[in-house]
Chains A and B, each alone.
Chain A
Amino acid sequence: MEDFKVTLKQQIIDSLNLQGMKPEEIDDNAPLFGEGLGLDSIDSLELMVLLERNYGIKIEDAREGRKVLTSVQSMADYIQQNRKI
């Protein structure tokens, strides 16, 4: 799981082009939106693309999407349980 979270963090950095950021700088439980990384609504759509392309996970319900994309930890948990790829 720890290795997977590092991979996921790197995928997030690449997907959102968080230039100069390293995986170890992202806290597992820090909120991705608002306060934490300061991501916006378009980033959340980009993260959904990441989930779909890399893990075959399609989230249709916006509320569920918000829950999944709370933090790296919540994303990792959801991916482990629902991944199709």
Chain B
Amino acid sequence: MNRVMYIKAATCISPQHSYDAEMFLAPPVSSDTGRLYVLDQDYRKYISPVAIRRMSRLLKMSITAGMQCLADANVQPDAIITGTGRGSVSDMEHFLHDMIEFKEEALNPTYFIQSTYNSVNGWLALQTKCTSYNQTYVHRGLSLELALLDAQLTLSEVDGTQNVLVGGFDEMTDYYHFVKNKVGYWKQEQINSLELLKHNDTTGTIGGEGSSFFVLSNDNDNDNATTAITAIQTLHKPTVEELQTAVLSLLTKNGLTANDIDVLLSGMNGNSGFKAFNDAMANMLPGSAIAAFKHLCGDFDTATGFGLWLANYMIAKQTLPELAIIKQGTSKAIKHILLFNQTIAGDASLMLLEQSL
């Protein structure tokens, strides 16, 4: 199986200035409410007036991110594969709420249709007239990783060049925030989001949302991709030891040692409960710079999309943004990044990224 996927384009609609890639996170956006919401974009660019009037925010931001990504890569997709933890949760809540309030009578079909997890995929297929492979993963904090693994399979199955559109998206709602607060998802103390990682002596994190899309190809003929994804691994509620074993085996399988990892890009979320995992990662990669991203996008099921977007840019620009640095490393160049994420529920993922030029 050919495991290398080149990132031909990356688009991210997030709480930071990421959609206009040239702004590259400047100026930083922060929040004191324990939640970060995306910066809304001009969604009319890719969605017709007739279609947009019924769409929820998640649909609008996801379709726009997907279409912009294809435009940046200047390709037609050969497959559309996405991951989402909760899909259009505001539509689901709306329908559920109305169903109870109106006692199961006279309910709006639009909320029901859009609450279907693959509605973004359906729209993207419709907009691009892409009649080929179309898949949606809904496995909590590993949803985007599963979509990426499927892209890897898809690109291994073909002989010629193919371009796969892969995306991850989730939205924050009042209901979700309220309910998950009951099980300790969020920090109880009021903090500024940019300071999240300094508050790592208490449990919980801050909520976030976003939509990120990538055009991935099995070929880098025209050398326009600067980054390749060479390995992806999901880990279900690993122990510290299982995580260490997985990291070592991932490095070995890819012919690398700890010294080759220039940057550890970590999905650390300020939760004191994960300290042992983060310490173990830092100890395994003593020479690597450490960067983090959840103080920028908040934590949500497909937050690794923001991380992957950031990693792609760090390699392309050969820059570690000041905003993301936790610790400087020994190497100045950025050739290999290990993207490590741990979900609120304790699942984890590892992605190995490599400079492809």
| Residues of chain A whose beta carbon lies under 8 Å from any beta carbon of chain B | 16-19, 38, 40, 42, 45-46, 49, 52-53, 58
Q: Tell me whether A52 and B106 are in contact (CB under 8 A).
A: yes
Question: Could you say which residues of chain B place their CB within 8 Å of the CB of A38?
Answer: 50
Q: Tell me whether B113 and A42 are in contact (CB under 8 A).
A: yes
Question: Could you say which residues of chain B place their CB within 8 Å of the CB of A45?
Answer: 109
- Docked Cα-Cα span, A16 to B108, in Å, equals 10
| Residues of chain B whose beta carbon lies under 8 Å from any beta carbon of chain A | 49-50, 53-54, 102, 105-110, 113
List 5 other contacts, CB 8 Å, given A19-B53, A49-B109: A17-B53, A17-B54, A38-B50, A49-B107, A53-B102
Report the nearest B residue to A51, measured CB to CB. B106
Q: Tell me whether A49 and B106 are in contact (CB under 8 A).
A: yes
Q: Tell me whether B53 and A18 are in contact (CB under 8 A).
A: yes
Nearest first, the 6 A-B pairs at minimum CB distance are A52-B106, A17-B53, A45-B109, A53-B106, A49-B106, A49-B108
Q: Tell me whether B109 and A46 are in contact (CB under 8 A).
A: yes
Q: Tell me whether B53 and A46 are in contact (CB under 8 A).
A: no
What are 22 A-B contacts defined by CB distance under 8 Å? A16-B53, A17-B53, A17-B54, A18-B53, A19-B49, A19-B53, A38-B50, A42-B54, A42-B109, A42-B110, A42-B113, A45-B109, A46-B108, A46-B110, A49-B106, A49-B108, A49-B109, A52-B105, A52-B106, A53-B102, A53-B106, A58-B106
Give the secondary structure class of B's interface: loop
Min distance, Cβ A16 to any Cβ of chain B, angstroms: 7
Report the nearest B residue to A45, measured CB to CB. B109
Report the nearest B residue to A43, measured CB to CB. B54
Question: Could you say which residues of chain B place their CB within 8 Å of the CB of A19?
Answer: 49, 53
- Docked Cα-Cα span, A38 to B106, in Å, equals 23
- Docked Cα-Cα span, A42 to B53, in Å, equals 12
- Docked Cα-Cα span, A49 to B102, in Å, equals 11
Question: Could you say which residues of chain A place their CB within 8 Å of the CB of B54?
Answer: 16-17, 42
Question: Could you say which residues of chain A place their CB within 8 Å of the CB of B53?
Answer: 16-19
- Docked Cα-Cα span, A52 to B98, in Å, equals 14
- Docked Cα-Cα span, A52 to B196, in Å, equals 49
Kindly name the residue among B53, B54, B106, B113 whose own CB sees the greatest number of chain A CB atoms within 10 A. Answer: B106
Min distance, Cβ A5 to any Cβ of chain B, angstroms: 22
- Docked Cα-Cα span, A52 to B50, in Å, equals 24
- Docked Cα-Cα span, A18 to B102, in Å, equals 24
- Docked Cα-Cα span, A45 to B113, in Å, equals 12
